[in-house]
């Protein structure tokens, strides 16, 4: 599997973690939001890339 194929597959699988149940976990002074999906996808990618 090439690096591009790996990344495409990773993105497709990570996208399946996104549902309609969004929870805002944090907001900074610029108005940027951190959601439950940010954490879930970050953990997923980190675990898959090891």
Spatial distance between the Cα atoms of 11 and 45, rounded to a whole number of angstroms: 9
- Residue 31: per-residue pLDDT: 87
Confidence check: pLDDT of 50 > 80: no
Report pLDDT digits (tens) over 2-47.
Answer: 999 999 999 999 999 999 999 999 998 888 999 999 999 999 999 9
Closest to 35 measured CA to CA, from 21, 43, 24: 24
More confidently predicted of 35 and 49: 35
Closest to 24 measured CA to CA, from 33, 32, 11: 33
- Ramachandran quadrant class, 29 (left: phi over 0; alpha: psi -120 to 50; beta: rest): alpha
User: Is the separation of the CB atoms in 26 and 46 below 8 Å?
Assistant: no
């Amino acid at each position: 599997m090439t690096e591009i194929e790996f990344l495409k597959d990773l993105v497709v699988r990570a996208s399946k973690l996104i549902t309609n149940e969004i929870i805002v976990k944090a907001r900074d002074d610029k108005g940027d939001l951190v959601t439950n999906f940010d954490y879930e996808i970050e953990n997923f990618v980190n675990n898959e890339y090891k």
